[in-house]
């Protein structure tokens, strides 16, 4: 079943930072769609909840050097 979660990432320095996070999240198993908005720091992830969970998304964002916060 499909679910959606959101994070806020307030430490993006540039649009390339947002693209890096978007690309990394797109590669997580179970992710169906990712939208990262540089200007607002909003990250929205649509995923298959039988395959992925939001903890993996937060860890992926952290692995890219950014601090995710619940939206």
Look up the pTM and report it: 0.94
- Residue 45: Cβ-neighbour burial (10 angstroms; 0-12, 13-18, 19+): buried
Instruction: Report the pLDDT value the prediction gives residue 18, as an integer from 0 to 100.
Output: 95
**The pLDDT value given to residue 63:** 98
Q: What's the rounded Cα separation, in Å, for the pair 8 and 49? A: 20
Smallest CA-to-CA distance from 22 within 1, 48, 9, 2 is with 9
List pLDDT tens digits, range 22-37.
Answer: 999 999 999 999 999 9
Band of pLDDT at residue 70, cut at 50, 70 and 90: very high
Q: Alpha-carbon distance 47 to 68, whole Å?
A: 17
Share of the chain above pLDDT 90, in %: 97
CATH number of 1-68: 3.30.70.100
Domain ranges of the chain: 1-68
């Amino acid at each position: 079943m499909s679910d959606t979660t959101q994070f806020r990432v307030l430490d993006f320095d540039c649009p390339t930072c947002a693209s890096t996070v978007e690309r990394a999240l797109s590669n997580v198993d179970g992710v169906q769609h990712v939208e990262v908005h540089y200007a607002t720091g909003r990250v929205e992830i649509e995923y298959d909840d039988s395959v992925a969970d939001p903890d993996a998304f937060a860890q992926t964002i952290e692995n890219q050097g950014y601090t995710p916060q619940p939206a």
